[in-house]
Amino acid sequence: MDIWQSIVDYKEEILTIVRLSLIVSGTATLFSTLIGLPLGTIIGLKDFLGKKLILRIVYTLMALPPVLAGLIVYLIFSRSGPLGNLELLFTPTIMVIAQTLLVTPIITGLVAASIAGKEGIIYDHALSLGANQMQAYFTVIKEARTNIIASIMTGFGRAFAEVGAVMLVGGNIRYTTRVLTTSIVMETRQGNFAMGIALGLILLIISFAVSTLVLMNNDQFSKT
């Protein structure tokens, strides 16, 4: 079982798999952040009718099983589904949609939880100093940036390590929708344990590298 030989022999295919994994998970995390950051900020700062119910729904969706998320997206975009005419099934685009469905509640819930405490005081203080509502929101986000970055990284980790949803909607098609996690499952099922372990190590190394880069940038930003 030569792990390194497996990487060398299939380096071109592995590079394609790694590239697609980063593109799909990175894009899904970006969209989830664009949705979840403002939603989480509003939920964390504002008191409104139905807030507790919304929080319960968000926290429930944070634990949404990936296979169920994949099934929902599959049914919506299948030929008999309401959006089947878009023909997105078994494409990287549909994989991004499925991962966005999984990651958005995570970022929303974690951002809301990180802002709900002392950041509310900062929001009120900013308003009392003459800031408008948008400026006050940005002030809160800046003060809570460490927790927010941690929330986004948690979301990226969920997307990058997810297998059920992308396997269901993407189909694990070679050179088209095959990512690291689906490749690991396939190689293990076929008894190619060396390749499965090699891909698993690559997954861990990339996750560690991304986390390290983000934390280093966050530390630099905190000093400025």
Task: Report residue 122 as tokens.
Answer: 């900062």
Rounded Cα distance, 40 and 51, in Å = 11
Digit-coded pLDDT (tens) for 8-52: 778 899 999 999 999 999 999 999 999 999 999 999 988 889 999
Digit-coded pLDDT (tens) for 78-135: 999 999 999 999 999 999 999 999 999 999 999 999 888 666 678 888 888 888 888 8
Question: Would you state the pLDDT for residue 139?
Answer: 87
Please give the average per-residue pLDDT across 179-197, as a whole number: 93
Task: Report residue 84 as tokens.
Answer: 């089947």
Question: Would you state the pLDDT for residue 157?
Answer: 92
Question: Quick check: 224 pLDDT over 60?
Answer: no
Question: Quick check: 155 pLDDT over 90?
Answer: yes
Question: Would you state the pLDDT for residue 206?
Answer: 92
Fold of 3-223: MetI-like fold (1.10.3720)
Where does the chain have alpha helices with state H? 3-9, 11-45, 51-62, 66-77, 92-115, 119-128, 133-143, 145-160, 164-170, 180-189, 193-223
Parse the chain into domains and list their residue ranges: 3-223
